[in-house]
Amino acid sequence: MLIMAVPFLCEAVFLLGYVIIVALTIPQLPGWAQPGVEAWLFDIPQDSESSDNGSFDETSPAFSGAVIWNDYAGPDADIFGVPLHGPIKHWSETYDKPLLGCLFHDPNYGDHTGADFPVNVGTPIHATMGGVVVWAGENGPWGNLVVIENGDYQVWYAHQESILVVIGQIVSRGEVVGLSGNTGNSSGPHLHYGIKKRTGKDTYVWMNPQLFFNPDEVINIGCSD
């Protein structure tokens, strides 16, 4: 019985020692630092060890920015498929599927927060999620941008030539929201497709769009264009 009690006694001694050290250390710190350190010492494991804070391969940190959340929730809230429907043209060639260029976290473009689809100017862009349009206009490096929100997700369609929706409009999955272009920070005609997720009251991440469509829906040509 004594042998079986040893692990429990050791644990109790460790916890007692830990509490004593904490009690002696925290009062020595400046007043402004004490609450944070106390929370850090006693909150084990830390929330950040299990939360999706943008540190994983399939996400990147995101910020609120100019495109605010509307708190809309409605039908067609699931994201699936690709925003271009074949056949499509890229330069003088016609393809039966959309071309997938630069990837999320692309090896040639490590901070890339979406997926790029090289395509000729004027190609219809289809919504991959129903929802409300929370942005429809020029947005700096994004060029002509459409953002559709539903629940905790926003889907971004950037660098458009023409926008065919307006802010506040409710769209259905598959609806044409604009025509592809080469506006903003773009080195060639393409659609930048991004998926943003709200993970908390004021926290957001960019998701890898490839999580939301099947590999056989696209032709992967890489990030050379």
Query: Averaged in consecutive runs of 10 residues, what is the pLDDT profile of the chain (225 residues)?
Result: 46 45 58 50 34 62 91 97 96 97 91 95 98 97 98 98 98 98 95 96 95 97 80
Tell me what pLDDT residue 44 has: 33
Mean pLDDT of the chain: 83
pLDDT in tens, 29-82: 666 555 544 443 443 333 323 334 444 579 999 988 899 999 999 999 999 999
**31: part of which helix (H) or strand (E)?**
none
Q: Is 20 exposed, middle or buried, given 0-12, 13-18 or 19+ CB atoms closer than 10 A?
A: exposed
Distance CA 143, CA 139 (A): 5
Give residue limits of the domains in the chain: 2-44, 59-220
Please count the other Cβ atoms lying within 10 Å of the Cβ belonging to residue 2.
Answer: 6
Tokens for 183?
Answer: 């506006």
Tell me what pLDDT residue 123 has: 98
* Domain formed by 59-220, architecture: Distorted Sandwich (2.70)
Tell me what pLDDT residue 225 has: 47
Distance CA 139, CA 90 (A): 25
Tell me what pLDDT residue 199 has: 94
